Structures are given as C-alpha cells and as structure tokens.
Structure 1
C-alpha cells in the first residue's frame, strides 16, 4: 500500500497527510523558531525513517526502496511563515490550503514542517506534512510519542532510541536485478491475485444477500463534490466537545465513530439540501479500518478501506444514527472477511512503470466524471491521546488531522481525538466544494440535535 500511494500520486492527487498543531507558548519562556528547530533536531534520532528517501528501481520494474539520505539537512524540511492580521482561523486555513496543494520533493525525505507565527492570542501553529507512503493515521498519531511530551520540561521522549541498521543506497545494477527477478516471479502472483479477486467477489455477494447488507460496489450517487480533481486545495477546521459525543454515544447505545459519522452525514445532508442536490440514494463514505495489532505504531500503512452508507436519505438524526450503527457493522464484517483473504496486492506484481501510466491515463481522461463511483468522500477517525501534551515546552491546544483527496472524491473529513476535544479537519477541492466551513457549521448543528435527543 505504501508503494501504491507513490504510484497513484500526481499533480491533481498529491498523496500526503498533514497534522496541524495549535500551540500556546505563554508558559514556555524562550519559545521561538530556533527553539523548536533544536527540539526537532534532538528528536530526529528517534525517527530514522525521517532521514530516508526513496530510491527508484531502474525502468520502474519494481517497487522503490527506502535508503538513508547522505545529504540530509533539517533546514531543508522546516520552514517559517507568518499569518496576515488578524491571524484567525480563516487566515491559518488559507496557509494550510496552499501547503496542501504542493507535492513533496521525491529527491528528499518525504516530509516537511512549518512554524507559523502571528496567530491571534500569541499562539503558534506547527504544521507537519508527511507523505502517505510513510504513515497512516495510527502511525501518524504515534509520532506524538516522539515529538511531544506529557511534561513541559521533558528533555527526551519516553520511547527508546531505535536500534535500526543503516539503509545504504543501492547500485543501479542491484536494483535492476531485483526488478528483473520481480518481473520473472509475477505470473504466479497474477494467478493468485485473480483467484483472490474471485473469492472476494463471492464473499461480497454472500454479504449482499444478508438481511442488513453493506452498500453494493460502485453504487455511490453522483454529487457536486465528486468529479475530476484539480490541483487546488482548500481547508477548514473546528473542534467538537468529546463530552458531548460520549454523552450521545452512551445515551443512544452506539459507538463514538457512529456519532462522528452521523454528525458528518447530517452536515452533508444540509449542504446538499441547500443546493437542491440531495440524491435519492444515500451518500457513501470510504472509512479506513486499521489492521494493526494493538499497540503497534510502526511507520507505514496497515489499513483496509471499507465503504459504508452515511444514511443521508434519513432525515431524523436519531434514526440516522441507528441506521449508521447497523450499517457500519455490516460494512466492517465484509471488510474483515475480505481482508482475511487478501494475501497479494496489486503492487506485488504490477510494476510501478505500469501503474504510473494507468493512473496518469485515468486522470488525463478525467474518468472520475465518467465511471461509476465507489464512494463519495473519505471519513477517517483516528484515536489520539486523552492527556495534555506539550511540544518543546509549549502547550498543545489542538491537533487537527488532514487526509488526502483521491479518485474523484472532493472531500476528506478526518477527525482526531485529543484531550477533551475531537478536532476535525476538512480538505476539499475548491472547484468541487465551494465552502468547507459550511460543512463544519452543519456538523456542529447536527451534534446539537443529537444532544437534544439524548437529553
């Protein structure tokens, strides 16, 4: 999957994630850009992967490999910016949108960060942008154990210094031989993949015949926020009280993730109704499901995507929440059965040169506008730490996550639970969705409705 994120990337589909931290340095004397830079420099030995870049296999015959960057310099990866007055949420969101629209340089380790001054109230923003081939939501959250501390005066993280071997650069001949061997061993993997696909189809049909079936594949309705993506990005963010979400969860007998999906679904319903665009069939969402073992925050991707109904065709919020709860159980059951059968991935036999051409052709032909949709948007929920954290001595007020857009889906809603809040980040294509802030206002209104229903 890490390799797939590299192959599918293009100007219109940059495949990086982003974390936005709002810092309050009022109780951290001497906190400034240089102080934070020194903090990162001290913590980087605990993240050896962040000193590595990709090395391509000649002719794109096989997946690239990670190698240590002998010319790594931290100053190439940390930047400084300032907001225009008054330094509010909108000004910060505009800066984040600009950063989201730029691809990372593959000649460098695939990450960068920004120290943003000028926020109202004397606060500072720290923006960490990392390629999705390096982290998924869980491993991205796990970075907090290295970069952040539970005490403002901690001098080193709680995790141990990793004992990893150096990853030297390979010769072109060695990688070419690796690619040749991969090409020679592809036919058995192709046969295995085809058999796996047939078994997956049989499993899907079996689930579709159940009393409470998951959504049919490629059955998402067309909406105004679906279509060929541009290279532009917009961003909006907010925070929801965790106490309210848990109150609704406990009162109505569902899960935290169900409440979050219901809040987003109600906001989508309001957004589409206002434009007289609400489809008769429910909007579908891709919901990433972690396949990691408990406690595993190794860098890389260990997720399986499931498609769930957002039940936007249900008007009453409580009825919608119940329908989402039942639908998520069905979607998760299918996803788990499919995941258990998956032993070969597309990148195990399809060389990057072929995948790159396929994705470039897909985007050039704007097939997102022409083919059936598997999903309308991405909604991802990442559990974070419930305790107060600090970075370089400054108190972290909020940690806002941002996931990428892809395959005709002009909205990504990612939430991260931290302390007493659920921080929500919305990335959108402004050519497909004109106002992501409106979606967040709708989410707040939906949570208020659920709170009223929950007493």
Structure 2
C-alpha cells in the first residue's frame, strides 16, 4: 500500500466488504478490535456518540504539528526502552542459553525434541516476490478443531499448524517435491497486554518446525508439539521485555529504498532461509457480527507476502467457524486454490485420525467385557467356554489395546 495516501482503503463490492489496512497501523488483534467497533452485535444496529474534535481540520496536519508529535513519541519510546534495559539483558542472556541448549549444535542425536534453530529448506515458494497476488479462502467448522485439540492435549493453534503442514506437504508433492528437511513457519506472537486495543502493531515472530518431512499425521503432530514447546519456552520470557514500539523517524524511507534494492537484486533467491512461510492464527469474535442489518457470513483475513516467503496463511476464528485466508505471490503460486483444497483434505484426515483414536478405547472396553462374559460361562448360553477360546479373545483385546 502506498503511504502517500491514508493507510486504509475500504471497498464494498456487491455483498462483500474488502478493507485494506497498512500493517504499520494495525496488527491482527488491533484489526479484530477495529472490526468489532465498525460492526454490530445485533441486526438492529446501535447509535454511536459523536465526540467533537478540538481541531478544525481533523484530516490535515501541518508539518510542524506532525514533527512535534513524532519527536514526542520517539522520546517516550526511548525512555521506555531504557527503563526495561536492566531486566532485558538478563532475560535475553537466559533466552540465548535456552535456544542453544535446544539447538542442533548441543542436542544429542537421540533427543526427539525438534530444534527450531535451523535453516529452512528452499522450495518454489521461497523466491523474490513481484507485484501480483493470488488469493484463496476456505472455512472449516470450529467445533471439530477444538475437539481435536482436547483429544490430543494441545492448543488450537497447534492443530492449525498441523493442518497447514499437512496441506503444504500435499501441495509440494505436486510442485517440485517435498523437501527431506522440515519446512519452518514464521509464527507471529502477540505482545499485547490483556485488554489493550491500541491501534498499532505489537507483535513479534517465532519459528516453528512443521514436520513436513514426516509422512504420517500422528508423528507430524508430535513433531509440531515439540517444536511449539521449544518456541513457547523462549517466547514466554521475551514477551515481557521486547519493546512494542521502536524509535523510527526516517526508517520508512530507508526501508522502502532497501526493499526496492533487495527485490530488484533478487537477493532472496540466493541467501539462506530462516523460514518458508508465515502462519498466523488470530482469535476473532465468538459471536455473529452485523453490518447495516446484514449478518457477516465469513471474515477472511488477507495478509502480506515478503521477499523470500511468497505465501502467508492467516486464520481467524469467527462465531462457530475458522476462516483461512491464503495470500501468495501470483508468479510463485498461481494455483493457491489448490492449497486451499489441500487444507480441506487435511481436515478430513485429521477427523479420521481423531475418530480412530477415540474409537480405540471403546473397542478395547467391549473386548474386555466379552472376555469377562466368556470366563463366567455366559457366552452363547453354552455354560462354559474353553480356555483356548478365552485366551484367543484376550489376545485380540490385547492387540487392540496395544494398537490404541
């Protein structure tokens, strides 16, 4: 988005509303808070009080006024960072030790915990991006995903990572092959305090290995759980000390120039990769929302792609569903809808895995009851059952329990 104009652009097309916001103005949670202000909880709508502005020209700031506000903000940011500095040094030192301890350099080869401190493999998605974009969306029911998280003793976010990893493995199998090394996702983490709805960006990034090199769903989930635990162990301390705003006068012009040079030189095609894509899960409103009396059916997030990571998957919960928004560079991934369909297949695979896991204890209990009845002479009205038959049934039940 060009910053020569306002960093937002709402567009209504038919029954759809597309709102474009610059990431410098809002992050995912701030965008959700903004949507809740713009929309209603009831079809009838509501009356919002209008607060009169103290300024005559609220849409036009003078250069002196903007510079004065910017310098004041910069000073506040510097003071806040200096105040946090003593605690930050100790926290960063401890976090660095944890990272090294969990890294491949210090891990035993027998350790099952995956390390996040590794370079990502290069795929067709890891290239310099152009100006074209391809977008696809898909909606999945929320209840089965929450049930899967409970059944597998994990978080909903980790189930989302599993779905994305499974879909990516399927898509890559049809586009250049699946790398022998696991793909790595850059996962945004919120730095917001509870109840903070300030319109700015308060987020950082952590890396999670996705286990895409594993063919089966269950080992892939175990891999993601280990990688996620390693990420949380480091992120828990860092969230308390990372600044949410940095002194940045002049930085936008510098970043814009560097980004242009970076893209034209296609540096992303040659340097080692830290991550393959971005996967973000943003909690949304758990109830229906309305605009001008019409119920919002879906809320598909549209995020950004950057050089070296031509795919962004952002997920937002809404009411009783999960809305997936897949944004890709048009040249690197023109068939992004195929990945959306792969997500649906991954969801079906997840439901099948959970059904088998839930049914295994039930089958084992039924088998044990059958053995008990046989040993008490109640099976088939025969009065007695041979030890051989009883032993055979016991062996069958043992196999079921072991398989479970």
Give the drift of 1:164: 7.9
**In the alignment, is residue 430 of structure 1 matched against residue 330 of structure 2?**
yes
SS at match of 1:319: helix
Do structure 1's residue 206 and structure 2's residue 106 form an aligned pair? no
8 Å Cα contact 2:74-2:247 kept in structure 1? no
Residue by residue over 1:61-83, the C-alpha shift from the partner in whole angstroms, topping out at 9 and shown as x without a partner, is: xxxxxxxxxxxxxxxxxxxxxxx
6, 13, 17: which one aligns with 1:126 = 17
| 1:253 lines up with 2:153 in the alignment | yes
Distance 2:262 2:314 in 1: 26
SS in 1 for 2:45: coil
SS at match of 1:409: coil
> Does residue 122 of structure 2 align to residue 222 of structure 1?
yes
Alpha-carbon RMSD: 3.3
| Residue equivalent to 1:321 | 221
Are positions 1:175 and 2:62 aligned together? no
CA deviations on 1:174-214 (whole Å, 9 max, x unpaired) are 839977x979x99xx99x99x97998477335323136364
Q: Which residue of 1 aligns with 2:33?
A: 142
TM-score (norm 1): 0.67
Structure 2 residue aligned with 1:112: 9
Classify the secondary structure of the residue corresponding to 2:197. coil
Contact conserved, 1:317 with 1:446, CA < 8 A, in 2? no
- CA–CA distance in structure 2, aligned partners of residues 182 and 340 of structure 1: 21
Match of 1:287 among 181, 187, 210: 187
Equivalents in 2 of 1:247, 1:283: separation in Å? 26
Separation of aligned partners in 1, 2:158 and 2:69: 49
Q: Provide the aligned length of Structure 1 versus Structure 2.
A: 338
Q: CA 1:337–1:270 in 2, change beyond 3 Å: closer, same or farther? A: same
* Residue 155 (1) aligns with residue 46 (2): yes
Q: Is the Cα contact below 8 Å between 1:214 and 1:331 reproduced in 2?
A: no
Largest Rg, 1 or 2: 2
CA contact under 8 A between 1:400 and 1:416: conserved in structure 2?
yes
Conservation of the 8 A alpha-carbon contact between 1:399 and 1:418: yes
Closer/same/farther in 2, CA of residues 198 and 273 from structure 1, 3 Å limit = farther
- The structural deviation recorded for 1:346 is 6.3
Relative to structure 1, the CA distance from residue 164 to residue 418 in structure 2 (aligned partners, 3 Å threshold; closer, same or farther) is: farther
1:109-149 CA-to-partner distances (Å, cap 9, x unmatched) read 211111112xxxxxx11111111111111010112221111
* 8 A Cα contact 1:305 1:335, kept in partner: no
Which deviates further from its counterpart, 342-351 or 289-298?
342-351
Of 250, 262, 268, the match for 1:362: 262
Secondary structure, in 3 states, of the residue corresponding to 2:296?
Answer: strand
Tell me, in whole angstroms, the C-alpha distance in 2 between the residues paired with 1:290 and 1:177. Answer: 26
Shift of the 272–350 alpha-carbon distance from structure 1 to 2, 3 Å rule, reads same
Determine the C-alpha separation between the residues in 2 that align with 1:174 and 1:434. 42
Q: Which residue of 2 aligns with 1:41?
A: none
Given that residues 207 and 213 in structure 1 are in contact (C-alpha distance below 8 angstroms), is that contact kept between their aligned partners in structure 2? no
Q: CA deviation at 1:273?
A: 1.4
Matched residue of 2:299: which SS? strand
Per the alignment, in what secondary structure is the counterpart of residue 297 of structure 2?
Answer: strand
Counterparts of 2:260 and 2:93 in 1: how far apart (Å)? 27
Spell out structure 1 runs of 4+ moving beyond 4 A. Answer: 160-168, 176-179, 195-202, 343-353
Whether 2:372 is the aligned partner of 1:372: answer no
Counterpart position of 1:273: 173
State the alpha-carbon separation in 2 of the partners of residues 340 and 163 from structure 1. Answer: 37
1:25-66 CA distances to partner (integer Å, 9 max, x unpaired)? xxxxxxxxxxxxxxxxxxxxxxxxxxxxxxxxxxxxxxxxxx
**1:449, 1:413 → 2: CA distance?**
19
TM-score by length of 2: 0.75
2-structure distance, mates of 1:178, 1:276: 48
Change (3 A) 1:209 1:127: same
